[in-house]
A and B are shown apart, each in its own frame.
Chain A
Amino acid sequence: MDEFFLIVTLAALGVALAAGPIGCVVLWRRMVYFGDTISHASLLGVALALALDLPVFFGVLVMALGISWVVLTAQGRVHHTDTLLGVSAHSALALGLVAVGLGNGSAADLMRYLIGDILSVSWQDVALIWAGGALSVGLVVWRWRALLVSSLDREMAIAHGQNPARESIYFTLALAVLVAVAIKVVGALLITALLIIPAATGRLGARTPERMAVFAAMSGGAAALLGLFASFQFDTPTGPSIVVAALGLLLVSAIGRRVRASFG
Chain B
Amino acid sequence: MSRPLVNLSGVRLSFDGVQVLHDVDMEIRPSEIVTIVGPNGSGKSSLLKCLIGALVPSSGTVARKIGLKIGYVPQKLSLDAAFPITVGRFLRLRDGTARAYKEIEKRVGIERLVERQLSELSGGQLQRVLLGHALIGQPDLLVLDEASQGLDQPAVAGFYRLIDEVRHEFGCAVLMVSHDLHVVMSASDRVLCLNGHICCEGTPSVVSEAPEYRRLFGLGTEGALALYRHEHDHSHAGVEQDG
Using a CB–CB cutoff of 8 Å, the interface residues on chain A facing chain B are: 27-28, 30, 145, 148-149, 151-156, 158-160, 200, 203, 206-209, 211-212
Contact = CB atoms under 8 A, between A and B. Distances in A.
A151 B83 contact: yes
Given A145-B93, A153-B77, A158 B54 contact: yes
28 contacts: A28-B83, A151-B78, A152-B79, A153-B77, A153-B78, A155-B48, A155-B74, A155-B145, A156-B72, A156-B77, A158-B52, A158-B53, A158-B54, A159-B54, A159-B70, A159-B71, A159-B72, A160-B70, A200-B82, A207-B85, A207-B86, A208-B84, A208-B86, A208-B89, A209-B83, A209-B85, A209-B89, A212-B84
Contacts of A159: 52-54, 70-72, 143
Contacts of A211: 84
Nearest to B115: A207
A159 B53 CA distance: 7
A155 B143 CA distance: 11
Contacts of A154: 54
Given A159-B52, A160-B94, A209-B89, A203 B74 contact: no
A14 B89 CA distance: 29
Contact of A208 (B72, B82, B85, B145): B85
Interface string B57-93: 0000000000000111110011111111110010001
Chain A interface SS verdict (over half):
helix
Contact of B54 (A28, A148, A152, A155): A155
B230 interface: no
Interface of B: 48-49, 52-54, 70-74, 77-86, 89, 93-94, 117, 134, 143, 145
Given A154-B54, A156-B74, A149 B84 contact: no
A156 B143 CA distance: 10
A208 B91 CA distance: 12
Most buried by B among A149, A151, A156, A206: A156
Contacts of A155: 48-49, 52, 54, 72, 74, 145
B207 to A, nearest CB: 26
Contacts of B134: 156
Contact of B84 (A145, A151, A160, A207): A207
A155 B72 CA distance: 8
B84 A152 contact: no
A154 B84 CA distance: 18
A145 B77 CA distance: 16
